[in-house]
Amino acid sequence: MSPRTPGLRIVVNPIACDGHGLCAELLPEMIRLDDWGYPVIDSAPVPPHLEPLLRRAVSACPTLALLARPDDPA
């Protein structure tokens, strides 16, 4: 049995986030906005086919508040 490659999870720094909403536009499958325009992140690991979109959303965040972290299944 081969070891499982860890996936990614979305993390947002709520202090750095200014609620621009770009992340939800770029990755609506995993991120929605609350009533004030701040991201609400899906807690599930990011499916492999969405990882390129996650990387794009992370790099496009104007305040660098969005992060992609390795999934820790433990």
- 3 within some domain: no
Q: Which of 17, 12, 47 is nearest to 29 (CA)?
A: 47
Distance CA 51, CA 44 (A): 13
Say if residue 72's pLDDT is above 80. Answer: no
Say if residue 1's pLDDT is above 70. Answer: no
DSSP bridge partners of 32: 40
CB distance 74 to 9 below 8 Å: no
Q: What CATH number is attached to the domain comprising 44?
A: 3.30.70.20
pLDDT digits (tens, 9 = 90+) for 27-67: 999 999 999 999 999 999 999 999 999 999 999 999 999 99
The total domain count for the chain is 1
- 1 within some domain: no
Question: pLDDT at position 2, please?
Answer: 44
Structural domain of 46 = 8-70
